[in-house]
Structures are given as C-alpha cells and as structure tokens.
Structure 1
Amino acid sequence: MQDTFTKEDFLYTVVAERLENQIENNILKTGDKLLSLRALSKEQGISISTAYKAYIELENKGLIEARPKSGYFVRFSPSQYPKTPQALKSDFVPVKASVDDMLRVVYKSINQEGIVKLSRATPSGALIPEAKLNKAMMEAIRRSPNSCTGYEEIQGNPILRKQIAKHAFNWNGNIREDDVVTTQGCMEALIFCLQAVTEPGDTVAIESPTYFGIFNVMKSLGLKVLEIPAEPETGINIAYLEKALETIPVKACLFVPNFCNPAGGLMPDQRKKQLVELLAKQQIPLIEDDIYGEMYFGKNRPKTCKSYDKEGLVMLCSSVSKTLAPGYRVGWCIPGKFIDKVISLKLNHTVSSATPTQAAIALFFETGRYDLHMRKLRKALHTQCLRYTQAVSDYFPKDTKVSRPQGGYVLWIEMNPKIDAFVLFEKAIKEKVSIAPGQIFSTDGRFTHYIRISFGAPYDETIDKSLKKLGALVAEMY
C-alpha cells in the first residue's frame, strides 16, 4: 500500500515552517502568546484540524508549548542557543595515526547493554522501516533467478548502481551506473580509494576533529595524517590547507564536507568549488566521505565536491549505513579516473559484495521507498536535534558551547577548559550514559574539554534524564 499525502498535510507543514521562521528570526520571542487555533484557522484560511497539526509540529520540536486554559506560547528561540565551539589550530606536522587505550575503552562501552548510548552516531531502531526492508528483501530474493545465492557482478548490482547514479542528480552529479562501484559499507569504499592513490608512508590530509574510525584506517594502511582545522559551521580551513601544501608532500585528502563528524560543519558550495580547484592544480586526489549528505535539514540536498569535479580527481564514498540499514553493509564509491584501480582492489580483496542486501536496497530505491523514508528521517532528526540542543542549553553550565548542525546525527559540545572529557566519560558510564570524549577525535588528544553526543534516538524521558544527569556531572567538575 502506497503512502499518500493530502492537501492538509502540505498546508500544516507550510504554516508550521512560517511560524518556525518567525521564531528563528526572533519576531516571535520566548514567552510570546500565539494565536488561538480558531484565530489561526481564520487568519490562514485553513481548518482547525490543520492549525492544530501545525502547532503539534512546533510543539514536537520544542519551539512552542501548550499551557492549560491559556493557549500556545513560544518556548524556545534562537536567543537561547549557546555559543558555538571554536576550532583549534594544528601544526604543519604529519604524524603516524594511532589508536590508544582510551579509544578501546570507549568502543567497549558502545556495545554494553543497559547503557544510554549518546555516543553512537547511528539511527535508532525506531527510525528504521524494518517491515518494509524485510518486504524488499523477500521480494528481491523472489525476483532473482537463483534466489540471490550467486555471486554479484564485481562492480556491483547493476540496478543499485543505476539508482545511485539517478540519485546523484540531487547533488548536481552527472553520473552513469558504470561510474559506480559498490562496497561493503562506506568504510570499505574509503579504504579502496585510499589504497588506489597512496602507498604506506604517504601523508593524507584529514580534518580535525574527525571520526575516530579514520585513524584505524590510516594506521592499518601505514599512512601518516596531517590534521587540518575544521570550523564547526563551515568545515575545513582551506587557507590553512593551502599553506600546508606549500611545504608538505600530501598524497591525498580525505574530508567530510557535508555534516562532518563530530563538528557537524557544512562546507558552503563556493568553498567546495574552491577546494576542488585548489587540489586539481596540484593533482591531489580528494576522497570525499558523503555518508551524511542525505541527512540535511534544509530545503535542498547540499552539493558535493564531486559536483565540481572536472578531472576525475574526486572519489565520492557513501552508504545506507547511516540512513537506512546499518547491518546491511551496502556502500559505494564513485572513484572517477581511479575506477579501474578500485575495481581491481575489490576483486583482490572481496571478489563481490553481498548479493541479497544489494538487491534489497536496489529495490527499496527503485520503488521510491527510500525517498519516502528519507523525508521522514530528516524531519525526525531535525526535531531531535532541536530538542537535544534545548536540553543541553537547559541542563549544562551556561558557558557551554554547542554546534548548530544543519544535518547529520551529532552535536559537538565545548565545555569549560577545566573539564577533562575522558574523566567525564568515566563518570557518565557509571551512571549508565555513554558519550564520546573529544580526545578520540584527534591524533594527539587535543580536544580535552569537548564531547560528542548523538541525537539519533527520539527524544523521550530516558534521554531527558540522561542529559540532565550529564549536565549535573559537568557542573560537579567545576
């Protein structure tokens, strides 16, 4: 049965967005009383039911509240947002990537039962359409002449590759299915791309802070890393990178331009173009991790660096691990001029990707289920981002700074310099709350008073209590 949208569904969304814009622009301020349902209905020419849905939408985001016998009032406005974190400068010194005991302790806690996992940047099970995925899997097996028991094509399921190429239109990509190579998740795509353009001992530029899994990859491949500072709102400092390239022989770059983890920055399109042109002049490949690109909160999907690639030097990598099905391990890369090398690496390492999961995801795309799911997921994540941010503002000390991501899964929180994030992690684990301490997002542990928390789980009483407890622990450490 297909999901349908009525005119009323569209109208309440439009009304809610207009009111949200007024709150964001401080036209409607905290404590202001909103129109009654009847008055809003008459003013906007909508039904009372539609007016009620618009207010519920804003209430779910924590922007307004209903007061018994009094009506609706603005609960939270941008003036209450904490300041944003600051980027830390790095030295122009490549270092060996390493994984220390701190990282192993954090990883261990992620898998413990009974822990509120604010450290895990993945979708909550409540946000995954399990029944529809199961249906797609069964249908894919039924359609297959050998029930998906045979090896898939080396380059990947042709229907899936066609759908990936089709969706590239959303980020202004001109991609054919023959340009795509499927992989076992995004991490394998990153590894193949790195192996295609580097040798052990080479230096790769990465952003700082960055996802700790990148350090594992760099270490396993024997690569050195050069950390480039990233602003929490706009991504890497291109001027800093350009200066570093004057003296350091960088073999490749690996960046996350769209909603980087953990800082959450979104590189503006003009800066993406500038980055691609800078690297093209020196013929330096750019491995673009776009795993969060589909999780935008705005009207349009952000472009990629690949959108501006004219020489095939940008190698885009992504997957459905953060958007749809983490356990399916379906990823892909668009490796440009290095595609033959990537296909050869895949043949040597894995022969082919898993047939059933590729076929199921291909069908999920083909039937339009993926687009429908993503509309719902983006809406849920935006709401959760606002609610978590409000809780941090309410429960943490007033000098706390919080990122304002425009997409993705995580908040990057800067605390008072006297706070040791790993000590906070140890205290929080005893209270059954897991966070990611900032030290694990750089090679030298420099983010000592930063933490990352995920808003991947719907906001509920358990999350509220956990954030309140976390804020109290921070306050106790002053």
Structure 2
Amino acid sequence: MHKDFLYSEIANKIAFQIRNGVLKAGDRLPSVRILCQEHGISMNTAKRVFLELEAQSLINSKPQSGYFVNHLSSPKLPLPETSRPLSMANDHEPDELISKVYGNMGKDDLTLFSIGIPSGDLLPLAKLKKEIVQSTRRLREGGTEYESLQGNLRLRRMVAARSLAWGGNLSEDDLITTSGGMNALSFSLMAIGKPGDTIAIESPCYPGILQLAINLGFKVLELPTHPTTGIEIDALKQAIPKINLCLLVPNFNTPLGSCMPDQHKQAVVTLLAKHGIPLIEDDVYGDLYFGSQRPKCCKSFDKEGNVLWCSSISKTLAPGYRVGWIAPGKYKDQLLKLKLVHSISSTSIVQEAVANFLNTGRYENHLRHLRGTLRDNYQHYIQAITEYFPAGTKMSRPQGGLALWVEFNKRINTTALYDLAMKQRISIAPGRMFTLQNQFENCMRLCIGLPWSQELNFKLKQLGNLAKMM
C-alpha cells in the first residue's frame, strides 16, 4: 500500500477508536517507535499519523511524555428538524433585519457571533502584507495595468491545481476570476437567468444570496433541507417544473453547516442536466472541513458543463481582498461578456499576492491551523450551549465551515433576543434573516470563527441566560 494511504488508514482507525470511546480522554497512545513496530512503517509515516490526529483535535502531545487522547464533547442536544418551507416561490426579503444585523460589521466593541467570517486573529495578516508589497514589485508597472479579462494567470493555475483535491480536474482556461464570491454568484445569475425566473435554493439560506436573487428580479423557491445532508432530493424533483435555475451551497453551507453526501451531489447534477436547468454551486466553505479529507463538489460530477462552480478566499484567508473565481462550464462566453461590461478587469495586486500565497504552500499550512481552531471552537460551543442554553434547545452538527444553527422552543423569538443581546454588546444572526417566509423565528446562527476565550464563554452564558428569561 502507498505510504500516503497507509498513514491515513492507521490514523482513521485510531480516530474511530477515540470517537467510539475505545480510547478514552487522557489515555496515552503508543510511542512513535512502537507504532512503527506494530504496523511496519517508517518513523516519518508514524509521525504523519500523529500529525493527522492532532489536526483533528483528537490528541495532544506533551513534551517528554508522548501523545494523549483529548476530551471530546459529544453533542447531547437533538438535531433541528428538516426544514419545511412552503412549496411556492417568494420574493419578500427581511431587508430591515438583515441591514440591522450586518450594520454591526467592523464594530470592535461587539461580540460578533452574527458575522460569518474568521476573525482577523486567525488569519496570517503579516504574511499577506508581505505578499502585497512583493506583488507590486513583481508585476509590470507595479500592478497599475489592467489584468487580462479572465484574471491573473498564476491564480487561475493555482486554483486549477487545487481542484484535483475534490475531483475537479480544472485547467486555468476553465476559470474566470472575480471580486469575491458574491461577485461570482452575481455574474453567474445574470449570465443564465432573467427577471421573473424562479430559482431553487436551500432553506434556510445565506441572506446575501436571498438579497442578490431578489434584487436581480428572481422568484425564490425554498427547498426542504436536512441539517446534516442538505436539500431533499425528492423535493427538488417535485420542483423541477417550477424552476429555471438552482443555486446550492453543498459543502458546509451557512447557517446549517450541512454537507451533501456524494451520491446526493451526483443525483442533483444528473437531474438538473437532464432537464436543462443550470446549477450554480457556491463552494466558499469547502476547504474548511473538520475531517481528514476535503469533500467533493457538484462540479466533480459535471459532464455537461452545466455547473457553474464559484468560490473565493473570503471565508478562509482574506475577506477584504475580494478575490474569487468561477468555473462556468459551457456558460464561459456569457460570463466573460458580463465581466467585461461590469468590471473590465480584476484587481491585479491582490490576485497576484493570493496566487503567490497559494503557490508557496503557505495557504495549506494556514488552512490546517484554521481547521484545527474551528474544530476546537466547535467543541467549546457544544459545551457552552449544552450547559447554558434553555431546555429544549436543538443544535446542528456541522462537519466543517463557520456556522452553528441553534433552534429554541417556539416561545423564544430570536429577533427579540437580538435586541436584548445587543444591550449586552452581543450580536447574533436571527433565523428570520435566512428565509423569505415566516419561519425560523425561534432559530439563530452563531459564527464559530472567533478566537475562543473565557470572555467568549461568558458571552455565550449571557446569551443563554437571556434566552431562558424569554
């Protein structure tokens, strides 16, 4: 067996034993030398086993003592139910609530559970600054010239190379760069749809997608969505006669954090291609997986060029850099025309800086650390919510991403909870933001991308106490 598969197989076996209680918190694992002897592997392979288990926050190393099993918090709270939106298109957005919540962005005196990006404390800011400076030196005319219409060639090559990890097999010519992920979605919607068309989405759904669809004149059909596996395939089949296009976030979407199984992704791609309905795939969270392997994308199963795969670095590296991209499949010409009309060119310097950051391997190193932090945060949130939130609370089980979905009993209105929490300098994202229908009033999304601290634990305790008072 190839050594890469061997270390992964051994790590997965130990991980299984830890998660199923065979190995318990505080148990000492065999040493590197003993692991070599037991499995007939090299020292380097044995070390990779422990690195992988550490990356999953399953073990920790103690100097001069060895490796020990971490304490894992198993969620004791039940899962939220599969959503049941009305099977009719809608175009009424909760605009006032969305504006109120997102108006808190950038306010340092608030605890922003409401904004779904990683904190700057979790990002390699100093290294990114150096990349920006070096990019002005590398680029002709210091980066002041227009970039080519498709975007920075080095960046497209790096994104294409990374697509092999999820079965994308893209080339640089398949990609067009954009000003962030929302710009990629906007171009995609304008390229394949027109005002009056009906678009199918998950329910609940990211508010930015709802606002974008409505402002472009679309009617929105929300699909029943399971908190773990994503949209219900049967519901999509029934919706086929009503819809003109589909937009999904299959990997660790916000707010549920659900991840569609591969067979579901393949079924969706096949179904939509059969009926000539384009699929826009928003994959901004795909790199933030908690397990040992990045999940595949719908684009992995696209044989017709019918999937427009969109992503960016906004949720992983630098939200403010506004660097994103699209692999538009057979809609490439329409996308290039739109980009020419709306923006002419992408920003040269930041694209060059990001391309080099990816090329040097720093991005992968950063992602490993970020994923480990988010996994740890998830464990901390589980403990705090279980301890402090009122009886009857339900909670999602994300296996990646930045979002945690909390469902209270029907007596607790999270829009009212938002107003109470703001008096304690805490900002949450009420569930009503994530739908165009009258649902999720007793739900909220919490971002797990904040650095964990005793203060953050206290803020969750405050939030739980406020909910109990309601």
Distance change in 2, residues 1:176/1:84 (3 Å) = same
Distance change in 2, residues 1:41/1:283 (3 Å) = closer
2:200 counterpart of 1:210: no
- The amino acid across from 1:126 in the alignment is D
In structure 2, what is the Cα distance between the partners aligned to 1:17 and 1:302? Answer: 16
**Counterpart residue number, 1:439:** 432
Deviation track 1:18-64 (CA, whole Å, cap 9, x = no partner) reads: 765434213356xx6635x9x978976899xx99xx89x98995999
2:253 counterpart of 1:260: yes
2:116 counterpart of 1:121: yes
Contact 1:61–1:387 (CA under 8 A) maintained in structure 2: no
**Counterpart residue number, 1:161:** 156
**Counterpart residue number, 1:421:** 414
Percent sequence identity over aligned pairs: 43
**Counterpart residue number, 2:100:** 105
Moved more, 97-106 or 138-147: 97-106
**Counterpart residue number, 1:175:** 170
2:396 counterpart of 1:409: no
Q: Could you tell me which of 460, 463, 466 is aligned with 2:456?
A: 463
**Counterpart residue number, 1:273:** 266
**Counterpart residue number, 1:323:** 316
Q: Could you tell me which of 283, 295, 306 is aligned with 2:276?
A: 283
In structure 1, what is the Cα distance between the partners aligned to 2:342 and 2:248? Answer: 24
Deviation track 1:392-449 (CA, whole Å, cap 9, x = no partner) reads: 1121124211111111001011111111111111111111111101011000240011
2:344 counterpart of 1:351: yes
Contact 2:23–2:69 (CA under 8 A) maintained in structure 1: no
In structure 1, what is the Cα distance between the partners aligned to 2:334 and 2:228? Answer: 35
2:76 counterpart of 1:85: no
Distance change in 2, residues 1:238/1:149 (3 Å) = same
Alpha-carbon shift at residue 154 of structure 1 (Å): 1.0
Contact 2:131–2:356 (CA under 8 A) maintained in structure 1: yes
> So what's the TM-score if we normalise by structure 1?
0.88
Q: Could you tell me which of 17, 20, 27 is aligned with 1:25?
A: 20
In structure 2, what is the Cα distance between the partners aligned to 1:23 and 1:89? Answer: 36
Distance change in 2, residues 1:61/1:462 (3 Å) = farther
Q: How many pairs align?
A: 452
2:240 counterpart of 1:241: no
Contact 1:184–1:353 (CA under 8 A) maintained in structure 2: yes
**Counterpart residue number, 2:136:** 141
> So what's the TM-score if we normalise by structure 2?
0.89
Deviation track 1:329-359 (CA, whole Å, cap 9, x = no partner) reads: 0000010000000000010001111111011
Distance change in 2, residues 1:154/1:409 (3 Å) = same
**Counterpart residue number, 2:292:** 299
**Counterpart residue number, 1:132:** 127
**Counterpart residue number, 1:394:** 387
2:312 counterpart of 1:312: no
Alpha-carbon shift at residue 100 of structure 1 (Å): 2.7
- The amino acid across from 2:109 in the alignment is G
Contact 1:62–1:387 (CA under 8 A) maintained in structure 2: no
In structure 1, what is the Cα distance between the partners aligned to 2:69 and 2:305? Answer: 53
In structure 1, what is the Cα distance between the partners aligned to 2:266 and 2:282? Answer: 16
Alpha-carbon shift at residue 190 of structure 1 (Å): 0.3
- The amino acid across from 1:165 in the alignment is A
2:65 counterpart of 1:96: no
Distance change in 2, residues 1:418/1:182 (3 Å) = same
**Counterpart residue number, 2:377:** 384
Contact 1:20–1:58 (CA under 8 A) maintained in structure 2: no
Report SS of the residue matched to 1:138: helix
In structure 2, what is the Cα distance between the partners aligned to 1:93 and 1:295? Answer: 33
Q: Could you tell me which of 461, 466, 469 is aligned with 1:473?
A: 466
Alpha-carbon shift at residue 136 of structure 1 (Å): 1.4
Alpha-carbon shift at residue 127 of structure 1 (Å): 1.2
Distance change in 2, residues 1:97/1:217 (3 Å) = farther
Alpha-carbon shift at residue 173 of structure 1 (Å): 1.0
**Counterpart residue number, 1:6:** none
Contact 1:98–1:216 (CA under 8 A) maintained in structure 2: yes
In structure 1, what is the Cα distance between the partners aligned to 2:69 and 2:320? Answer: 42
Alpha-carbon shift at residue 174 of structure 1 (Å): 1.9
Contact 2:392–2:409 (CA under 8 A) maintained in structure 1: yes
- The amino acid across from 2:127 in the alignment is K
Alpha-carbon shift at residue 17 of structure 1 (Å): 7.5
Alpha-carbon shift at residue 97 of structure 1 (Å): 4.3
Moved more, 459-468 or 89-98: 89-98
**Counterpart residue number, 2:3:** none
- The amino acid across from 1:225 in the alignment is V
In structure 2, what is the Cα distance between the partners aligned to 1:380 and 1:418? Answer: 34
Deviation track 1:171-193 (CA, whole Å, cap 9, x = no partner) reads: 10121111100000010100100
Contact 1:205–1:228 (CA under 8 A) maintained in structure 2: yes
Instruction: In structure 1, list runs of 5 or more residues that go unmatched.
Output: 1-10, 67-71
What is the RMSD computed on CA atoms of the aligned residues?
3.0
Distance change in 2, residues 1:396/1:20 (3 Å) = farther
In structure 1, what is the Cα distance between the partners aligned to 2:463 and 2:326? Answer: 38
In structure 2, what is the Cα distance between the partners aligned to 1:337 and 1:306? Answer: 12
Contact 1:253–1:286 (CA under 8 A) maintained in structure 2: yes
Distance change in 2, residues 1:312/1:16 (3 Å) = closer
Report SS of the residue matched to 2:199: strand
